[in-house]
Amino acid sequence: DGGITQSPKYLFRKEGQNVTLSCEQNLNHDAMYWYRQDPGQGLRLIYYSQIVNDFQKGDIAEGYSVSREKKESFPLTVTSAQKNPTAFYLCASSTTSSPYNEQFFGPGTRLTVL
């Protein structure tokens, strides 16, 4: 079945540590996105990638980094510079970066900083 996988489902991190969230898609989509969701709030865009080897900052990129070395993979690193990283992280993809296209979402990773 085609879709988006995110791992791990739950992640615990100590303060001061970097941690990497995995996102893989087998939909052959060009565009990929990372969102952060906090309780009672909508999705806020962290980074997006329109095509492999290219990515841009979203609205809340500070303290995060990404790479897009392969079309199917878009990992997100939460660095120690992110002051409040505890949140639910969602990865998404779309056929292309056209605003017409709906996004397909993964099941999310819940990150907790201890």
Partner 1 sequence: AQKVTQAQTEISVVEKEDVTLDCVYETRDTTYYLFWYKQPPSGELVFLIRRNSFDEQNEISGRYSWNFQKSTSSFNFTITASQVVDSAVYFCALSERETNAGKSTFGDGTTLTVKP
Residues that bind partner 1 (CB under 8 A): 31, 33, 40-45, 48, 50, 56, 58, 88, 90, 92, 94, 96-108, 110
Nearest to 25 by CA among 89, 99, 91, 111: 91
CB of 45 to partner 1, least distance (A): 6
Nearer to partner 1, 78 or 90 (CB): 90
DSSP 3-61: -EEEE-SEEEE-TT--EEEEEEE-S--SEEEEEEE-TT--EEEEEEEEETTEEEE-TT-
Q: Which of 13, 105 has the CB closer to partner 1?
A: 105
At its nearest, how many Å lie between partner 1 and the CB of residue 16?
27
